[in-house]
Amino acid sequence: MNTNRHPLHATLVLLTICSVIGTSLLAVGHLLNSRWLDLFLFNGDSLTLALYAKSLFSGEVRDWTFSSQIFFFPEIFIYLLCYALTPTIEWSFILNALINYWLFAFFLYKIAGAVGAAIWVRTGFVVLASCLLLLYCSLEQKAEVNVTALVTLFLFNTYYFGAILCALLIAWLSCCALNGTRFDRKPVYGLVAVCSAMTYFSNPMFLLQGAIPYVVCLLYMRWSRTIENGVSRWLIVAMVLGVVTGQLMRLYFSEHVGKAIGKYVHLKSFLEGLQGVGNNLGRVAETSAGILEFSIIGGLFMLSTVLACVYIRSTARRPAFSITYPGSAFLFLVLFSAFSACITLVGTIVSGNFLMRYFLPIALLPVFVLLTAVLALRAEHGAKGKAYFLVCATLGLAMVTFAWRSSPALGNFSWLSAAPNSESHPGVRCFNELMTKKSFNVVGTFWSTRTLDAYSKTEARALQVNERFEPTLWLNNRDTYRNLAVNGVIVSRPADNVRQKGAIYAEQTQALGAPDSIATCTDFDIYYYAEGSKGYKLLAEQMKKLKR
Mean pLDDT of 35-51: 91
Q: What is the DSSP letter of 499?
A: P
| Confidence grade of residue 179 (pLDDT, cut at 50, 70, 90) | confident
pLDDT tens per residue, range 11-25? 999 999 999 999 999
Position 7 scores a pLDDT of: 81
Position 197 scores a pLDDT of: 97
| List of residues 6+ apart from 7 with CB closer than 8 A | none
Mean pLDDT of 291-305: 97
| Cα separation, 355 vs 349, whole angstroms | 10
Range in 27-41, 393-407, 495-509 with the lowest mean pLDDT:
495-509
Tell me if 78 sits within 8 A of 99, measured CB to CB: yes
Position 210 scores a pLDDT of: 95
Range in 187-191, 321-325, 399-403, 505-509 with the lowest mean pLDDT:
321-325
Position 409 scores a pLDDT of: 81
| Confidence grade of residue 115 (pLDDT, cut at 50, 70, 90) | very high
Whether residue 447 is predicted with pLDDT greater than 70 in this model: the reply is: yes
Alpha helices, DSSP H only, in 438-491?
446-455
Whether residue 258 is predicted with pLDDT greater than 90 in this model: the reply is: no
pLDDT tens per residue, range 204-218? 999 999 999 999 999
Whether residue 44 is predicted with pLDDT greater than 60 in this model: the reply is: yes
Long-range pairs, 31-38, Cβ under 8 A, ≥24:
31/97, 31/137, 31/152, 31/155, 32/94, 32/415, 32/419, 32/420, 33/409, 33/410, 33/412, 33/415, 34/141, 34/407, 34/409, 34/410, 35/141, 35/142, 35/143, 36/143, 36/152, 37/420, 38/143
Average pLDDT for the chain = 90
Position 132 scores a pLDDT of: 98
Q: Pairing state of beta strands 476-477 and 524-528? A: unpaired
Q: Is 540 left (phi over 0), alpha (psi -120 to 50) or beta?
A: alpha
Largest CA distance in the chain: 86
Whether residue 3 is predicted with pLDDT greater than 80 in this model: the reply is: no
Range in 146-155, 251-260, 428-437, 519-528 with the lowest mean pLDDT:
251-260
Position 318 scores a pLDDT of: 59
Whether residue 413 is predicted with pLDDT greater than 60 in this model: the reply is: yes
Whether residue 495 is predicted with pLDDT greater than 90 in this model: the reply is: no
| Confidence grade of residue 171 (pLDDT, cut at 50, 70, 90) | very high
Position 9 scores a pLDDT of: 83
The burial class, CB within 10 Å (0-12 / 13-18 / 19+), for 312 is middle
Whether residue 473 is predicted with pLDDT greater than 70 in this model: the reply is: yes
The burial class, CB within 10 Å (0-12 / 13-18 / 19+), for 142 is middle
Whether residue 141 is predicted with pLDDT greater than 50 in this model: the reply is: yes
Whether residue 289 is predicted with pLDDT greater than 80 in this model: the reply is: yes
Give me the percent of the chain exceeding a pLDDT of 90. 66
526, β-bridge pairs: 490, 519
| Confidence grade of residue 355 (pLDDT, cut at 50, 70, 90) | confident
| Cα separation, 177 vs 239, whole angstroms | 14
SS3 107: helix
Position 300 scores a pLDDT of: 98
Mean pLDDT of 327-355: 92
| Confidence grade of residue 256 (pLDDT, cut at 50, 70, 90) | confident
pLDDT tens per residue, range 310-330? 999 888 765 544 443 468 999
From 288, 293, 297, select the one nearest 370 (Cα to Cα): 297
Tell me if 81 sits within 8 A of 102, measured CB to CB: no
Angstrom CA distances, 313 to 26, 118, 375, 379, stand at 42, 27, 18, 22
pLDDT tens per residue, range 226-248? 888 889 999 999 999 999 999 99
Range in 325-329, 387-391, 476-480, 508-512 with the lowest mean pLDDT:
325-329
| List of residues 6+ apart from 202 with CB closer than 8 A | 69, 70, 71, 72, 73, 74, 75, 162, 163
Position 494 scores a pLDDT of: 84
Position 263 scores a pLDDT of: 56
| Cα separation, 444 vs 472, whole angstroms | 10
Give me the percent of the chain exceeding a pLDDT of 70. 93
Mean pLDDT of 30-46: 91
Whether residue 75 is predicted with pLDDT greater than 60 in this model: the reply is: yes
